[in-house]
A and B are shown apart, each in its own frame.
Chain A
């Protein structure tokens, strides 16, 4: 499959967009395009040909029809908080911003649903239904800024997905515009819909199959009580074992997070959460449910943590202390940003039992590449966020950080995990897709793409690598847990 090239006529494109009635906001001057040059992964930057900011579904349809007719690539963008370069513009394309779609269209307490435009922020949904005793469960750490359209495109998770699932588990219906400008309603307000589960297929499809213009989410009742425990360990392996022990005891915490020494120290310096800075690892365990349920589980988790050789177990006394404990965890990224000029956030997921080996290997990679690393980990569901510290101003460091990150992801695949748990493939992990999937599987993905977008105009070059790219990358598909560079002995 050849790498696609696009040669749209910029003047013709702008003329067609300007002819739309009612008029659509179009940005064309370099200084106007600049704010759109990257998303949350700022290592990759490009300017699009134009940025358009439609306000209605009809305008989105018209824009896509123009792009389809003129063979112009289209990259959809929500808040631009994504961490994998999924919203990185195409130099020959239109950057379609959904930023003006900020209306909450309907809140239905009886159905426990909210229907919103794609530019509505994740947290704004919860805030809008708070008075009804309801909330929207997925809570990516960027929830204050990230938008629901982007959440659907990335199948976002968050701290609470161990118990409450990912975006795919928490939406009922989307409206989507195809590259041909057709409006599709996918899913329904019922719990299931006839035909193929296109809702699942679209969730996490990274803007490759259509543009999401409306989302109906499920709302959950707010738990009666929430409680947080902090446990400190003198060894990350013991902390990992404690996670397994809690889950084996039949308890599914609402959140179960781990941080290692460097992450604890950075977070403490930044947020003064009262973390034990001498600990090798801490676990934060959130329990929620009814009063009785939380009381029972608190006792049991406390006991398990002590048995798992925690050096300290603390229960937040009140909502304020709970918020402070979480603040440390939630500010881990900016905290690391303060101690290092740059950091590179990874997103692999592994079966939890492999945690000790993977952490050991990350430690060894850290020495090999001479770059420090801080580990933040959604421990309950095995989603690792190693933060590789580097300085982009030092020659070669960015390349070393990327190579280090690539090694971590390939290791995640080798132990039966995945290269991305919740941040998406985007531009960033396109090469590692060649490690996770073989050519037949990638070909099947391309066929799915072609079912919706045969000309490959939606977000070209992202999410699924061409076979040619994999060949150039060195095609290190990992099969049956065997890396071609059989270096599994290292752990």
Chain B
């Protein structure tokens, strides 16, 4: 039996790697995503433009503006001179924030009164705006603290809050993206290898050949799952190596845990892939089916937005999304050096998903034979 399964696996790998085009299909997405995602997928705010509408011409205002000009978040600082200009730069997205210093700004400062400022932001990019606003606020706080040591002495005001970012002290986006990428790449290849290759065998009639041979449906499924696993593990390893050696993401946890969870993750996906293939007659349907599954699965995995922001019913649904659990484990192993308990907390759902999907796929396979 083992020899027959081995034969199936060898055949599958040969089919995947024999011609140039199919090799390219396995390699291209890895290279493309590896070179694009870490740079493109960032919510940081850099290189933005800050517009200043300075209605005050006092020394205080000029000093503040100079500080703003030195900030890293804004590489460009433009001056606007009228309400109409404010509207124009925001409308045309020439600036992310317009900071307005009212005419009495310097006067208030000198008089020791609270000075008012206004920040106007582009709501079309409100997330970036909020982050940029936090930068501006920090600069203002620093400015305030530096410019009024006497005020700090008189009343105990402690404006500065020191925040330590654990696991990723400089909030590097790449540290967040690359572990997630390990998950995403393995997702695509395990689904494509399982769902599309079964659909292709059906279209080309070779599936019948397998069914009349002494192979059992179970053996055929194993013969589809293991190659998917080998390919996905291989691709996962490439990303892992690139993450550690090229992008310098620290790998703090146990590799054993990482690969252990990857195996079960791929198993649960193979279940989905085989399930999709069992209801599809053609490769086109299988491809579109895989796409319809992968899109929501990736978007809802917590990769692009935090899980806890989702409504409760979606979070509940997300429990059945193996990607959610795997993203948490990969990130945990990479950055947080998670312990066995935290690992297990997200491993057992994958075991349940794998059991259910593989069981269903097996049942569908047998049913379709009838």
Q: Do A and B bind each other?
A: no
